[in-house]
């Protein structure tokens, strides 16, 4: 039984890494972090499994004026997942969704260029891909990540998060091959409530962790 709240993303990653180390059938694993917050969690997992670490950039489509509420999400390759309940419940028009999607696509491309610094993405085909974030609220970003990763023919897709809303976890579990989560507290009320330190992860921290993970892999080969 995990003790909540987590100290920070690093501790959550270490605990999640131990749970994942017990998973069988993780052939040729690749850890893909949803930046920014998922990167410190994923770094601990990649280190524990001796696996490469890369980012998988997904952008939430926030409701205008209430950006923390996701009406959907987008990922590279034009993959989009919409939260129809939110869209219908708030009466959001198609042109509003498109306007937000165009803006977030520009930010997605900017972040991919920044984080990869000219390097190609780590190949996905035939690998056990672990998609990692610091938690799931609506799950829109993770659902679009699962759909997008499947286009590149992985051996399996494993979703790994320290904490999740229980209803969201049930939905994501149906879309991934496996789903590992340390806690599904109720009421949930937001990912940040389950961390004592939930300070935003910066672009600089993301780049530093990716560089450290690359150096570790290179040193071991």
Per-residue pLDDT at 1: 72
% of the chain exceeding 90 in pLDDT: 80
Query: Does any domain span residue 126?
Result: yes
Query: Does any domain span residue 3?
Result: no
Query: Does any domain span residue 54?
Result: yes
């165009």: which residue's tokens?
102
3 DSSP assignment: -
* C-alpha–C-alpha distance, residues 115 and 171, integer Å: 30
Domain count, the chain: 1
Q: C-alpha distances in angstroms, 159 versus 3, 49, 70, 100, 113? A: 21, 15, 19, 26, 24
Is the pTM above the cut of 0.85?
A: yes
Per-residue pLDDT at 32: 97
Query: Does any domain span residue 1?
Result: no
Confidence of residue 219 (pLDDT cuts 50, 70, 90): confident
Query: Does any domain span residue 4?
Result: no
Query: Does any domain span residue 140?
Result: yes
Boundaries of domain holding 167: 9-220
Query: Does any domain span residue 74?
Result: yes
Query: Does any domain span residue 127?
Result: yes
Do 137 and 191 contact (CB within 8 A), yes or no?
yes
Alpha helices (runs of H) in the chain, residue ranges in sequence order: 9-21, 38-49, 84-90, 94-116, 140-150, 166-175, 203-220
* C-alpha–C-alpha distance, residues 184 and 199, integer Å: 21
At 20, which CATH number? 3.40.50.2020
Confidence of residue 221 (pLDDT cuts 50, 70, 90): low
């Amino acid at each position: 039984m995990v003790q909540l709240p987590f100290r920070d993303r690093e501790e959550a990653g270490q605990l999640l890494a131990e749970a994942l180390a017990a998973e069988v059938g993780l052939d040729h694993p690749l850890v893909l972090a949803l930046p920014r917050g998922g990167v410190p969690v994923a770094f601990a997992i990649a280190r524990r499994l001796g696996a490469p670490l890369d980012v998988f950039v997904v952008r939430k489509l926030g409701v205008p004026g209430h950006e923390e509420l996701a009406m959907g999400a987008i990922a590279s390759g034009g993959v989009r997942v919409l939260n129809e309940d939110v869209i219908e419940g708030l009466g959001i028009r198609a042109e509003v969704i498109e306007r937000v999607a165009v803006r977030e696509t520009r930010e997605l491309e900017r972040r991919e260029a920044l984080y990869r610094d000219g390097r190609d993405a780590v190949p996905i085909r035939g690998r056990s891909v672990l998609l990692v974030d610091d938690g799931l609220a609506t799950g829109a970003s993770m659902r679009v990540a699962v759909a997008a990763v499947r286009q590149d023919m992985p051996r399996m897709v494993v979703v790994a998060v320290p904490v999740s809303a229980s209803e969201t976890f049930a939905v994501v579990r149906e879309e991934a091959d496996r789903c590992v989560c340390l806690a599904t507290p109720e009421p949930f009320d937001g990912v940040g409530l389950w961390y004592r330190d939930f300070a935003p992860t910066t672009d600089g921290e993301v780049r530093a962790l990716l560089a450290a993970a690359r150096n570790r892999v290179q040193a071991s080969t």
